[in-house]
Chains A and B, each alone.
Chain A
C-alpha cells in the first residue's frame, strides 16, 4: 500500500551532483597551499579557503531552491 511513493516525492535530483563541488574543493591542498597571490595581506591558503565557504553556500542554496517541494 505504501510501497509506491509518488514520483515527486523522491530525493533524487540531478541538482544534487552540485553538492560534490563543496565537498571536493576544500580537500585539494594543491589549489590553496601557497602564499601568493595575497589579498589584503591574506596568503592564498587563507583567502581561498574562505572563498570555498561561499562556494558551499551557493551550491547548497541552489540545490535547496531547485529541489524544494511544491506544496
Chain B
C-alpha cells in the first residue's frame, strides 16, 4: 500500500473536493423550494444544453463502462467493441422518440416513464409493472459502479469493504441534500478529468509501445491466435456477427429505457436542448472507442490483472504507464465517474417508487413535500441495497444481475417507446407481452452456459441459435429474442382483449401534447388536466 501513497493522496483529495461540490450543489441555481420532485428529482426541469450534455453523458458512460469494456477487449477482442456501434445507433433513435416523451411529460408533469404509461393506457397495473422493472434493473447497475471503484482501490492496494462504504455514505448524503443538482454539477469535473486522462493515454501509451498502434494490434492478434477460444480475435468471425449487431441494437434500445437516462432527458429545459445533445453526445462514443482500445494496449504492454479480476486491467495499465501523480488523477476520474451515474440512478429509482408505488397505492393524497421526502429517503435505501449487493453477493453475480437488467428493461419498450407513437395496443395485451417477454428473457439467459469457465447458467447474453433447433453455430443477443416474444404476445393479446370487449383504459394525453415545447402558452391551461 505504501508504494501507492502518492496515488492514494491525489485520489482522496480529488474525491473529497468533488464531494464538497455535491453538498454545495443544493445552492446552485437555487429554487425557492427544494421540497418538490420537480426540483429535487429533476433539477427544476431547467437544464440548458451544456449541463444536459454533461449530465446525460456522465450518466450513460459510467465507471463500470470505463473498466469493463476495455477488459472485454482484453479478454475477447473485437466482440467488446460492440459498445461503439451501440452508442452510435442510440442517438438518432432517441432523437425522435424521447423528444415526444419530453413534451408529453412537460405538459402533464410526469417524472417517470411509468407516470406516462399510467396516463396513456389508464392502467395503474401496467404502470406498476414498468416501475418495478425499472427499479429492479437499476439496482444491480448501481452495484456495478461500486465494482468500478473497487477495481481502482484494489490497484492502489486498498482492500476491504470499508472504503467503499465510506465513499457511498458520502454520496448518499449529498444526493439526499442536493438531489439531481449534485450529479449535474459533479459531472463537469468527472468528464473533464476523464477527457484529460484519455487524451494523455492515447498519445502517451502507444509512444511507449514498440511499433505504436500497429504494434498494439499485432500484439492483440498474436494473443488471440494463441488461445484455444473460438470466439476471440481482433475481427469478428462468422458465428458472432449476429450477436455483435443484435447486442449493439438491443443495448441501444435498452439504454434510454433505463429510468436514469429518462431522468436526464426530462431535466432539460426544452426540445432544442435535447436535439442538440443528440448530435453532441457522440463525442462520448469517440471517447468510449478510445477507452476500449486500452484493452489492447494492456495486451501489448504485457499487463496482467490482479488475481482473476479482469476489471483491474485498465487501472493496472495506468499504474504501469503513468507517473504516480497522474495515475492518481486517472484513478480519481474513474472513482468520481462512479458517483455521477450512481446518484442519478438512485434518484430515478426513488422517483419510480414514490410516484408509482407510494402515491399510487400507499398514500394517494400525498402532497409535493411528501413526495420529495419519500424520494429522498428511498434514494438512501436504494444505495444501501446496492452496497449490500456487493457485500453479500459474489461480484460475479452482480454482473449477471446487470445482464438480466438489460434484458428485462427492454420489455418496457412496447408500452413506453411504442406507446409514445401509438395507442393501438390494449393495456391487457401489453401486460401479457411484458409477462411473456420477461419469462422468455430469463429462461434464455438461464440456458446460456460458458464451457470455458464451466458456468452452466447466466454466463453471458449470447444465446446459441442451435438450442432452438437451428443448424448453426451463430449466437444472438437474448434481449432481442425476448423482446420479439413480448411484441408477438402483445399484438395477439390486443386482438384477444378487443375480441372479448375487455374495457380499454382512458388516454389522458392528446396528439399535440407530444409536440409541446417550453413557453408554450397552452401549458398552464393543460396543467389542469394532470391526472
> Are A35's CB and B89's CB within 8 A?
no
Once bound together, how far apart are the Cα atoms of A61 and B276, in whole Å? Answer: 7
> Are A27's CB and B248's CB within 8 A?
yes
Interface string of B491-521 (1 = CB under 8 A from A): 0000000000000000000111011010000
Grouping DSSP codes into helix (H, G, I), strand (E, B) and loop, the A interface class, with mixed when no group exceeds half, is: helix
> Are B212's CB and A50's CB within 8 A?
no
Instruction: Pick from A3, A56, A59, A69 the residue with the most CB of B within 10 Å.
Output: A56
| Known contacts A5-B511, A11-B100, A41-B217, A53 near B235 by CB under 8 Å | no
Closest to B234 in A: A43
What distance in Å separates the Cβ of B90 from its nearest Cβ neighbour in chain A? 9
What distance in Å separates the Cβ of B513 from its nearest Cβ neighbour in chain A? 8
Q: Tally the A-B contacts, defined by beta carbons under 8 Å.
A: 125
| Known contacts A43-B235, A69-B272, A52 near B522 by CB under 8 Å | no
Once bound together, how far apart are the Cα atoms of A35 and B187, in whole Å? Answer: 37
What distance in Å separates the Cβ of A36 from its nearest Cβ neighbour in chain B? 11
> Given the complex, which residues of A lie within 8 Å of B234, measured CB to CB?
35, 43, 45
> Given the complex, which residues of B lie within 8 Å of A10, measured CB to CB?
515
> Are B99's CB and A64's CB within 8 A?
no
> Are A27's CB and B522's CB within 8 A?
no
> Given the complex, which residues of A lie within 8 Å of B92, measured CB to CB?
19-20, 22-23, 56, 59-60
Q: B278 an interface residue at 8 Å Cβ cutoff?
A: yes
What distance in Å separates the Cβ of A28 from its nearest Cβ neighbour in chain B? 8
| Known contacts A5-B512, A10-B515, A23 near B93 by CB under 8 Å | yes
Once bound together, how far apart are the Cα atoms of A9 and B510, in whole Å? Answer: 14
Closest to B283 in A: A57
Interface string of B68-91 (1 = CB under 8 A from A): 000000000010010011001101
> Given the complex, which residues of A lie within 8 Å of B214, measured CB to CB?
38, 41
Instruction: Pick from B85, B216, B234 the residue with the most CB of A within 10 Å.
Output: B85
> Given the complex, which residues of B lie within 8 Å of A49, measured CB to CB?
81, 84-85, 88, 289
Q: B241 an interface residue at 8 Å Cβ cutoff?
A: yes
Q: A14 an interface residue at 8 Å Cβ cutoff?
A: no
Once bound together, how far apart are the Cα atoms of A26 and B90, in whole Å? Answer: 11
What distance in Å separates the Cβ of A61 from its nearest Cβ neighbour in chain B? 4
> Are A41's CB and B213's CB within 8 A?
yes
Once bound together, how far apart are the Cα atoms of A28 and B89, in whole Å? Answer: 12
> Are A43's CB and B217's CB within 8 A?
yes
What distance in Å separates the Cβ of B232 from its nearest Cβ neighbour in chain A? 14
> Are B511's CB and A3's CB within 8 A?
yes
> Are A3's CB and B510's CB within 8 A?
yes
Closest to A4 in B: B512
Closest to A58 in B: B279
What distance in Å separates the Cβ of A54 from its nearest Cβ neighbour in chain B? 8
Once bound together, how far apart are the Cα atoms of A9 and B214, in whole Å? Answer: 52
> Given the complex, which residues of B lie within 8 Å of A35, measured CB to CB?
234-235
Interface string of A24-43 (1 = CB under 8 A from B): 01111100011100101111
Interface string of B217-259 (1 = CB under 8 A from A): 1000000000000000011100001001100110000000000
> Are A56's CB and B213's CB within 8 A?
no
Closest to B92 in A: A19
Once bound together, how far apart are the Cα atoms of A34 and B234, in whole Å? Answer: 9
> Are B512's CB and A3's CB within 8 A?
yes
> Are A29's CB and B245's CB within 8 A?
yes
Once bound together, how far apart are the Cα atoms of A58 and B78, in whole Å? Answer: 26
Partner of B512, one of A2, A34, A68: A2
Q: B188 an interface residue at 8 Å Cβ cutoff?
A: no
Instruction: Sort A-B residue pairs by CB-CB distance and give the 4 closest, nearest first.
Output: A41-B213, A26-B85, A41-B214, A60-B279
Which residues of B are in contact with A by a Cβ distance under 8 Å? 78, 81, 84-85, 88-89, 91-93, 95-96, 99-100, 211-217, 234-236, 241, 244-245, 248-249, 271-272, 275-276, 278-280, 282, 285-286, 289, 293, 510-512, 514-515, 517, 522, 526
Which residues of A are in contact with B by a Cβ distance under 8 Å? 2-3, 5, 9-11, 16, 19-20, 22-23, 25-29, 33-35, 38, 40-43, 45-46, 49-50, 52-53, 55-57, 59-61, 63-64, 67-69
9 additional contacts, CB 8 Å, given A26-B248, A41-B211, A43-B217? A3-B511, A3-B512, A5-B515, A34-B235, A41-B212, A41-B216, A42-B213, A49-B84, A64-B275
26 A-B contact pairs sorted by A residue (CB < 8 Å): A2-B510, A5-B511, A16-B96, A19-B93, A20-B92, A22-B88, A22-B92, A23-B89, A26-B84, A42-B217, A43-B217, A45-B78, A45-B234, A45-B235, A46-B293, A50-B289, A55-B88, A56-B282, A59-B92, A60-B91, A60-B92, A60-B275, A63-B275, A64-B275, A67-B275, A68-B272
